[in-house]
Amino acid sequence: MDFGNLLNLGKEYLLPHWPLLVMAFLLGTVGQFFKTRVWTKERAAKSRVMWWIRAALPLHAPMVGALVALFGKLIFGTMPASLGAESYPDLMLYYAGAGAVAAYFVALLKHIAKSRGIQLSPVSMPPPPDDEDAPDTKRTGDSGNEPPQVA
């Protein structure tokens, strides 16, 4: 397959679905952040609610995609989608599909990064600064409840 055929394939089949691809990228990126920073295994071990939230992670991206479509159409009156997806159920299914594609999109990006020797795990990020490095914000001399003294 030469480059011209590949470009034509992209124009005919991928370009009309740019909203799905963009939403899949966004949902995948946001989902990875929440998975590694907010709904962690450590928090799930401490709380039953967090355990259920973490257990239902695969459902979050399709649900968020459907809600984005619903509220986007309610607020703006229209949402970008492929031809034929104009009603509320069509748009909600279209964007829920983008959420489902997000998992495959993230897996593809991780595979490409791993094949090039790039580590994407949250362990590679620097830890937050210690409390000793934080600026001193303590007030001295008063409890904070008294009105300021005017000299």
Domain boundaries, the chain: 18-122
Predicted local confidence at residue 125, as pLDDT: 46
Predicted local confidence at residue 142, as pLDDT: 52
Predicted local confidence at residue 140, as pLDDT: 52
Is residue 21 within 8 Å of residue 34, measured between CB atoms? no
Token output for 15: 């370009």
- pTM (whole model) above 0.75: no
Q: Enumerate residues 6+ apart whose C-beta is below 8 A from 111.
A: none
Is residue 23 within 8 Å of residue 67, measured between CB atoms? no
Residue ranges of the chain whose pLDDT lies below 70: 1, 120-151
């609610």: which residue's tokens?
A: 49
């990126």: which residue's tokens?
A: 29
